[in-house]
Amino acid sequence: MTPLNIVILAAGKGTRMYSNKPKVLHALAGKPLVQHVLDRATELQPQQICVVYGHGGDAVPQAMQQFAAKFVVQEPQLGTGHAVQQAMPHLADGSDTLVLYGDVPLIQHSTLHQMRQAGSGLVLLTVNFANPTGYGRIVRNEQGDVLSIVEEKDASAEQREIREVNTGILLAPTKMLRGWLSKLQNNNSQGEYYLTDIVSMAVQQGVAVHTVQPSNEWEIHGINSKSQLAVLERTWQLVEAGRLLVQGVTLADPARIDVRGKLVCGRDVEIDVGCIFNGDVSLGDNVKVGAYSFIRNSTIAAGTDIAPYSHIDSSEAGANCHIGPYARLRPGTKLHDGVHIGNFVEVKNSEIAANSKANHLSYIGDSTVGSRVNIGAGTITCNYDGANKHRTIIEDDVFIGSDTQLVAPVTVGRGSTIGAGSTITRNTPEGELSLSRSKQTTINGWKRPTKKVKGET
């Protein structure tokens, strides 16, 4: 197959977004619009990706620096044809060039592959709209051959009745594209160099013009306003929900789930309403996710039950764990099988071994917790001394009473018990009861302060 170049046009200001941020950096499904396009471009393994940017200074190249792409500035912005011209010095002849748009984020690999298979010459991606308002029309002759593309502002009343429209996405031999671009004129109502004018040039030269249509209309929807962004966001989330349903996932309401990344599910997974999945998330067989939970870049093993309003970030949970409600697992957390993390318990950068429990109102940070440990309500690990973090080690079969403070660095020995209300500052011996409590005192005659009435001194 002919080597491929890809040009992504991303220079637009996005005036109707009413934002200081470049339009292509607004997010859909958790990542910038242009990143969606760069991901699709990368899948095609081109020899060169060239991103043409403009408004927002260097914000676009800085945000997308993880991609091996050439970033070229378009200044001033004189139309789509002018934008592609900026990329041409970086593209080698003997290849094909695919033109994509940074504000058309949902174009699919299958559609782009179909374009590459369409034949030699110029390939246009078109679509038939019931309401084509705002789009350039595909003009054909009586035999059905493409003659030209007419922008709506320059179209006659008859041409505006045409339902087949140009998406702007095209594929052309690089050498031919270079020649056509050099002949572009800006004698139109906008005073711009239209990329679409190359179609009539190709026809005049006898170059074959092929058309391909996407499998889904939403693939070619562009973003020009926050309302369009919101509509396309929900469109995509329904697509993602449909994919999960086909795979056998039970969704309480397909209209109330957000997948902002990649969600992989095993068999018999159940997801309640309002859940958000961000980044790379894996849910094993028989996992249940309660309503309004948030999971990011985490792996949840089979049989684990996540109760509502839980927040799990960059963590691992083993099989048959119980998490929440209102639990928070922060980055670096690893739960082994059968662990219980209950309501209003926060765990950070800690490993908790099998069958241990922290069921109520506790903070476990920078800790290593053994198996079969019971952590009572209100227990905290005091891991920060104001300058440095220190680690707490709780060995197997420890019972920690409620309202305990473990001042790190400290080790609680295997099988030991910590009495409720203790502040532990030294290592505790195995198998013994350790506690620290001041003597109970009663102050006779003491009275609570009363609230002052306004105006009193």
pLDDT of residue 187: 86
Q: What pLDDT is stored for residue 191 in this prediction?
A: 84
Instruction: Indicate which residue of 113, 322, 360, 390 is catalytic.
Output: 360
Query: Per the structure block, which two tokens stand in for 303?
Result: 């049989």
Half-sphere exposure of 220 (CA within 13 A, CB side): 23
Same domain as 394, residue 255: yes
Using only C-alpha atoms, the chain has a radius of gyration, in whole angstroms, of 31
Assess contact for 38 and 109: CB atoms under 8 A: no
List Cβ neighbours of 202 (8 Å cut-off, separation of 6 or more): 121, 122, 172, 176, 180, 209
Nearest-CA neighbor of 354 among 375, 341, 338, 374?
A: 338
Q: Are residues 180 and 237 in the same domain?
A: no
Q: How far apart are CA 37 and CA 413, in angstroms?
A: 55
pLDDT at 69: 96
Closest CA to 183 of 200, 206, 169, 160: 200
Domain count, the chain: 2
Examine the fold and report which residue of 194, 220, 246 is the final residue of a domain before the chain moves on. 220
Classify residue 449: in a domain, yes or no. Answer: no
Structure confidence at residue 252 (pLDDT): 98
Give the range of the structural domain holding residue 280, as residue numbers without chain letter.
226-434
Per the document, the length of the chain is 457
C-alpha neighbours within 13 Å on the C-beta side of residue 352: 32
Side chain identity at residue 235, one-letter code: T
In this prediction, residue 449 carries a pLDDT of: 64
Residues 318 and 260 both lie in one domain: yes
Integer distance in angstroms from the first to the last C-alpha of the chain?
89
Q: What are phi and psi of 348, to 5 degrees?
A: -135, 130
Supply the pLDDT for residue 367.
98
What pLDDT score was predicted for residue 56? Answer: 85
Distance CA 287, CA 305 (A): 6
Within a domain: residue 450? no
What pLDDT does residue 448 have? 58
Collect all residues with Cβ–Cβ distance below 8 Å to 444 and sequence separation of at least 6: none
232 shares its domain with 207: no
258 and 175 in a common domain: no
- Which of 205, 220, 235 is the last residue in one of the domains? 220
Q: For the chain, which residues score pLDDT lower than 50?
A: none
Is 90 annotated as catalytic?
no
